[in-house]
């Protein structure tokens, strides 16, 4: 599965200006504004020979144009992004049976073909482009680019590690080497066997429990945190907290606060009233400059226009913790961190993978 995200503006080329400041809208949505038809932008990626589906997430509006999607010179589809109604983010278009004859580095081109007479501009507004093989359902979180931290309780290693043993280190499966560690024994989590769908978790026995790693996002374009988690008491703040940037004023994460799962943005909690304690959840936080989205089990809970300081990334550790007043029984089965705001299609696929793995 290949995710080609327009957020990777630094990897694109073409005759349209691609810059960070005017590109990162609506959780990483790209808005390109050509002056006339024929303008284009390229993205290069390696694709194996095979039959593929093409998925495109975009926002239609009155100032959008007509665009060709081209793979190595062949037009795959032409999409009219105009609508005379209010903009609706996340419109999906799907095309199947795309044949790629030979493996290799391919060029995906977005080229403006013009606009309707009623349209006010030639713009394109994209959230994500996805190519995935027809008939193939296998997926791993590493299939989505930018995975900088992947901590799964079923991969924790240790000599004789068994039910109830302390967890002082949680190994990173992303190949980035960002292991979560803790030197102070009083802050160690516990390893628990056969907790969710026959798989283990790490559990807090109450009070402060902390594992951290220097994984903050120096790429300065937001990030994504996805966690399989169960809180023992939602009314306690930071039970748990999964936070990139720890004490940084520009940090971000997910937490519990006032009986809800919340986004924790620059130290401020934004709650959404999910009051069901002691239930497993898949919580996703997708954040970029100017926009934040919080999901529960793949369903949007919150959007906010919280403004990250785009040129000042978080400067403190990535941490997984419970607070001093937390009660025993908070569990974490899996946590993933992507170093950019992944799109709706990618988030949905990761959530689906986790739902299948943990039978949620």
So what's the pLDDT on residue 260? 76
Q: Is 183 a residue whose pLDDT tops 50? A: yes
In which band, very low, low, confident or very high, does the pLDDT at 311 lie, cut at 50, 70 and 90? very low
Q: Is 309 a residue whose pLDDT tops 50? A: no
Q: Is 216 a residue whose pLDDT tops 80? A: no
So what's the pLDDT on residue 30? 57
Go through 138-148 and write b for each residue having 16 or more CB atoms within 10 A of its CB, e for each that does not. Answer: eeebebbbbbb
Structure tokens at 252: 């971000």
Q: Is 83 a residue whose pLDDT tops 80? A: yes
So what's the pLDDT on residue 358? 93
Tens digits of per-residue pLDDT, 286-308?
Answer: 887 667 788 888 888 777 655 54
Lowest mean pLDDT among 109-113, 163-167, 200-204: 109-113
**CA torsion, ordered 14, 19, 25, 28, to nearest 10 deg:** 70
Lowest mean pLDDT among 57-71, 103-117, 231-245: 231-245
Domains and CATH numbers, the chain: 2-136 (2.60.120.260), 143-358 (2.60.120.200)
Q: Is 25 a residue whose pLDDT tops 50? A: no
In which band, very low, low, confident or very high, does the pLDDT at 340 lie, cut at 50, 70 and 90? confident
So what's the pLDDT on residue 132? 73
Find which of 25-29, 192-196, 232-236, 314-318 is predicted with most confidence, using mean pLDDT: 192-196
What is the CB neighbour count within 10 angstroms for residue 273? 12
So what's the pLDDT on residue 235? 57
So what's the pLDDT on residue 15? 52
In which band, very low, low, confident or very high, does the pLDDT at 200 lie, cut at 50, 70 and 90? very high
Mean pLDDT score across all residues of the chain: 77
The two most distant CA atoms of the chain are separated, in Å, by 70
Q: How far is the C-alpha of 2 from the C-alpha of 103, rounded, in Å?
A: 13
Order the strands of the 180-181 sheet from edge to edge.
Answer: 169-170, 180-181, 209-213, 318-322, 241-244, 252-256, 261-265, 268-271
So what's the pLDDT on residue 63? 85
The model's pTM is 0.71
So what's the pLDDT on residue 307? 54
Q: Is 112 a residue whose pLDDT tops 50? A: yes
Note whether 334 and 228 are within 8 A (CB). Answer: yes
Find which of 156-165, 188-197, 268-277 is predicted with most confidence, using mean pLDDT: 188-197
In which band, very low, low, confident or very high, does the pLDDT at 7 lie, cut at 50, 70 and 90? very low
So what's the pLDDT on residue 14? 53
Q: Is 53 a residue whose pLDDT tops 60? A: yes
Q: Is 247 a residue whose pLDDT tops 80? A: no
Backbone angles phi, psi at 101, to 5 degrees: -75, -40
So what's the pLDDT on residue 106? 84
């Amino acid at each position: 599965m290949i995710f080609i995200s327009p957020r990777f503006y630094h990897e694109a080329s073409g005759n349209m200006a691609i810059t960070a400041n005017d590109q990162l809208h609506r959780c990483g949505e790209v808005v390109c504004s050509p002056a006339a038809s024929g303008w284009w932008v390229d993205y290069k990626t390696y694709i194996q020979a095979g039959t593929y589906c093409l998925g495109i997430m975009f926002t239609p509006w009155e100032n959008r144009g007509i665009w060709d999607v081209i793979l190595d010179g062949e037009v795959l589809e032409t999409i009219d992004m105009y609508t005379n109604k209010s903009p609706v983010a996340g419109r999906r278009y799907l095309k199947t049976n795309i044949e790629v004859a030979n493996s290799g580095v391919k060029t995906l081109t977005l080229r403006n073909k013009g606009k309707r007479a009623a349209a006010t501009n030639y713009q394109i507004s994209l959230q994500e482009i996805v190519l995935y093989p027809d008939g193939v359902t296998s997926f791993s979180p590493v299939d989505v680019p930018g995975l900088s931290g992947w901590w799964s309780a079923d991969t924790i290693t240790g000599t004789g590690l068994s039910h109830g043993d302390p967890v002082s280190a949680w190994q990173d499966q992303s190949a980035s080497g960002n292991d979560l560690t803790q030197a102070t024994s009083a802050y160690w989590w516990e390893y628990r066997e056969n907790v969710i769908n026959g798989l283990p978790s790490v559990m807090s026995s109450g009070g402060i429990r902390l594992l951290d790693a220097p994984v903050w996002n120096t790429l300065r374009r937001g990030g994504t945190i996805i966690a399989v988690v169960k809180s023992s008491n939602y009314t306690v703040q930071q039970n748990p907290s999964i936070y990139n940037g720890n004490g940084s004023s520009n940090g971000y994460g997910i937490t519990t606060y006032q009986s809800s799962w919340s986004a924790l943005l620059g130290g401020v909690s934004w709650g959404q009233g999910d009051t069901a304690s002691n239930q497993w959840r898949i919580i996703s936080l997708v954040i970029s400059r100017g926009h934040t989205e919080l999901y529960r089990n793949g369903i949007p809970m919150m959007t906010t226009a919280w403004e990250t300081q785009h040129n000042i990334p978080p400067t403190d550790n990535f941490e997984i913790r419970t607070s001093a007043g937390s009660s025993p029984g908070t569990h974490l089965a899996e946590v993933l961190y992507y170093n950019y705001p992944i799109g709706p299609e990618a988030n949905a696929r990761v959530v689906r993978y986790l739902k299948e793995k943990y039978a949620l």
